[in-house]
Structure 1
């Protein structure tokens, strides 16, 4: 297989996403006391009460959903299904030559974030989450990590790119 600038770009984004996520999680696991059922753990205030770091092990998916599923269903929904989806998305972006650079970056960020969280589930049995944002009740997140941030950022970029393409298509139709 010939390595092109395009496939190298995809690989670099995926590897960088995984590296940033795994390094940040290793630092959190090493330096921040984890939250347990008996202990609230350490909370580090980065920007007042608006941006906080903590160490929470999430046995489920987004916001802990799925953590109480039976083990077989959890393996299917949190490991096998994501691996299949990530594989299909990777195949799609490698084969679909019409994708613009923003879409490639977005898909590669989603794949990298997905791989990083699946890796945690396989190796640790849970995903380490550590960021929490609360903007005075106006905007409040669950506890998340860099992989989650990469997936979310990728989804937002894809949404913006699709709106831009729709607008361009609508403008093109008006001129015809």
Structure 2
């Protein structure tokens, strides 16, 4: 379980640190856009009140608190499941990465009322209108890792 908590803490701190640097110190929240390596990497401020791509976005506090509760419930379920499953090193790291990302976005919702998304990447003539953050990447990578590194029979 130590690997789960360590990887969760690293992802959580990295997510929050990048948000403080980009959104607060670089002033992205007031500037709106900072071109880093256009068009490949742009910091584009987006306050996400929903889930991925703003789905289920609502300006009401009810949506905010439902999404906080869902993220906390999923995180608790992942921890409980991995404690029971004992999947090994990569499964624990994957779970921690997912939990750390989820908790990073939960903290955003508690502090700002929305998730601070700022990474925008486009390539090859495709203009991506969406922004995301380190926590979003971690949630995706952690979920893929859980698929790859858990569920194997211990008797095989």
TM range (shorter): 0.7 to 0.9
Alpha carbons of 1:153 and 1:65: their partners in 2 closer, same or farther (altered >3 Å)? same
1:12 Cα offset (Å): 0.8
1:132 Cα offset (Å): 0.8
**Superposition misfits of 4+ residues, deviation over 6 angstroms:** none
Alpha carbons of 1:69 and 1:57: their partners in 2 closer, same or farther (altered >3 Å)? closer
SS at match of 2:29: coil
**Counterpart in 2 of 1:32?**
27
Q: Does 1:93 align with 2:82?
A: yes
Gaps of 5+ in 2: none
Q: CA offsets per residue over residues 86-128 of structure 1, 9 Å max, x none?
A: 111112212322x021111111111110011011101211111
**Counterpart in 1 of 2:50?**
60
Which of 43, 47, 51 lines up with 2:33 in the alignment? 43
Separation of aligned partners in 2, 1:111 and 1:139: 30
If you compute each CA radius of gyration, which structure gives the higher value, 1 or 2? 1
TM-score by length of 2: 0.84
SS at match of 1:34: helix
Taking the TM superposition and a 5 Å limit, the aligned residue runs for 1:95-110 are 95-97=84-86, 99-110=87-98
Q: How many residues align?
A: 154
Gaps of 5+ in 1: 1-6, 36-40
User: Which structure has more RCO (C-alpha within 8 Å, separation ≥ 6)?
Assistant: 2
1:138 Cα offset (Å): 5.5
Alpha carbons of 1:139 and 1:57: their partners in 2 closer, same or farther (altered >3 Å)? closer
